[in-house]
Structure 1
């Protein structure tokens, strides 16, 4: 059995079978061209998304803290021209809040999860064009990648995303934790070649890093500088360079004013 690859439209052959959500036996397919791994048509998603954030994702807070530091450095040291940004698939709004606390003008977009920490900064696709779109732990959830990618393309000139690249050789589902079989939400697993295919199709330059953060940029970046910035220990000396004033106090005042208007 074979399927059309959802990324490059190549031929995806049956690759593996596994049990997800402790009850559904499903099939995985791997593209012979771009090496993208996709599941069969994911009929189980309503069940998998009974909660937008799975209970086993205990790394959520730590991941947001780590990526907020990395993206803060990236914007100050590698992409200083970026002004307005949006976090796509931003979950509870934690990353948007952390980035605004660091002085970066971030907005939030996620139609599937309650925004708890960045209320008042929600946007809708098409509302405006941003300099940057971040999308952390989003790519592996894409049932129709090009539908989401077209939205990213329309939202912003540059993208910073996170996803784990499939090792070579590609592991079976019981050999790699990133399949997240107990959650059932990881239905798209990206190879380096699949990410390169996306960069080519959407006319971006791709820079891959070892920490799972990857940049699609309209202008070619310095890959050595970017990878240095992403390495946490080697770049701490520059944490005060081009530091931006926190938006925390201004946002708190705006929240107070919104509350007053509602009760007036």
Structure 2
């Protein structure tokens, strides 16, 4: 059995089955051309999202800390004139808070999760005009990637995406941890070729380092950006071009909002 690839519309062949959420027999398909792996139409998502953040995801804070360090350097040294960024599908607002603590005007958006840590700094997406959009562990959740990515294209000049790339050769369903069968939320698994296809389709340059993928508009120094995206080797940059934290200002704004509402 074959179906159309959600990324490049080539043929996707059946790649195997796996048991999702312990009870759903799910078929996976792999594109002959871009090697994108997709599930059958994900009818089980209501069950998968009864908890927005999976209980098994104990590494969430550590991953946010790492990406916040890297994004801080990216804004200071690769895009120093960037004024405004958005954490797209930002969950509880933790990453937005980390970025604001580092002095960046970052705003939060997530229509399906309560913003706990960055209240008062919700993004107005209708306005667009963001310099950088961060989509951290979002792409693997998209049942219709182009529908969502078209929105990203309207919102921001550059996108920083985090997602694990399918190894080569591709492991069958259930033989690679990022299928995340126990959670049931990972329905799109990205190859390097599939990410490059997205970059070409939306007129961007793709720069990838590990699980981080920067989609840039215009000319960039790719070698320098790759260096900045490497956490350990770019730590020497941390003492330079530091920005004043927005923590105190944000606290004052929160107090003022409470007094105004009283």
- TM-score, normalized by length of structure 1? 0.97
Mapped partners of 2:236, 2:13: distance in 1 = 48
Aligned to 2:246: 247
Mapped partners of 1:131, 1:206: distance in 2 = 16
Mapped partners of 1:136, 1:262: distance in 2 = 33
Within the alignment, does 1:42 sit opposite 2:81 as a pair? Answer: no
For the aligned residue pairs, the C-alpha RMSD in angstroms reads 0.9
Structure 2 portions without partners, runs of 5+: none
Aligned to 1:213: 212
Superimposed CA distance per residue, residues 183-234 of structure 1 (whole angstroms, 9 cap, x where no aligned partner): 0000000001100110011111100112x11100102322222222222222
Mapped partners of 2:221, 2:77: distance in 1 = 11
Q: CA deviation at 1:166?
A: 0.6
Alignment of 1:36-185 (within 5 A): 36-185=36-185
Runs of 4+ in 1 over 4 A off after TM superposition: none
Asked whether the equivalents of residues 209 and 227 of structure 1 are also in contact (C-alpha less than 8 Å), the reply is yes
- TM-score, normalized by length of structure 2? 0.98
Asked whether the equivalents of residues 21 and 48 of structure 1 are also in contact (C-alpha less than 8 Å), the reply is yes
Paired positions, count: 262
Mapped partners of 2:37, 2:231: distance in 1 = 30
Asked whether the equivalents of residues 90 and 109 of structure 1 are also in contact (C-alpha less than 8 Å), the reply is yes
Mapped partners of 1:42, 1:124: distance in 2 = 30
Aligned to 1:27: 27
Secondary structure, aligned partner of 1:121 = coil
Asked whether the equivalents of residues 83 and 131 of structure 2 are also in contact (C-alpha less than 8 Å), the reply is yes
Asked whether the equivalents of residues 29 and 40 of structure 2 are also in contact (C-alpha less than 8 Å), the reply is yes
Structure 1, 230-239 or 133-142: larger mean CA deviation: 230-239
Mapped partners of 2:252, 2:69: distance in 1 = 25
Structure 1 portions without partners, runs of 5+: none
Mapped partners of 1:59, 1:227: distance in 2 = 24
Mapped partners of 2:158, 2:117: distance in 1 = 24
